[in-house]
Amino acid sequence: MSTIQSSSNIQICLHVVSGFFFIAGIITPLRVSAKLRKDKVITIQNPDGEVKVAISAVEEYVRKVAKTIPDIISMKSVIGYNRKGININARVTISAGTNIPEITERIQFEVKNKIQGMLGIDEKINIFMQVNKVVGDVPSVTSHQDIPHLSKRQTIPYREM
């Protein structure tokens, strides 16, 4: 009887230890990647010296700029920086009924101008957009007169045979 109890105690201990290693195996890479992202900076040369701007600060600024644009619910970006310029990969949530080409073009224009103004650089900024979600109700149309292409349509008169 004691061997059965000791083997179940051993099994419980093994489960607890394996659970600990499983959780540690998930948390450790996440912490390391957060640390690496935190350390990345964009270096700007000024006449008075070197200025370093954290990429996380630029990502937060991009999010705030996007929130000022109507019909943008949220935006999350990941920024990469190399000799060729700045690459911004953005995931956007927009309101239903929004014209996607117009709103993404506006986001790209606003973000590009604000980033160049904030950092004081003329380097190329590439913004890649992905619309992840469309939120809210679609605006309803009450009559054909509200839709331009339907109100101009000619009707064919009905003939009886």
For residue range 137-156, what is the model confidence (pLDDT) as tens digits? 776 655 555 555 555 555 56
Q: For residue range 51-88, list pLDDT tens digits in order.
A: 888 888 889 999 999 889 988 999 999 998 888 888 99
Joined tokens for residue 40: 């990345």
CB 69 within 8 A of CB 109: no
The 3-state DSSP class for residue 92 equals strand
Contact (CB, 8 A) for 77 and 62: yes
Is the whole-model pTM more than 0.85?
A: no
Identify the CATH class of 53-135: alpha beta
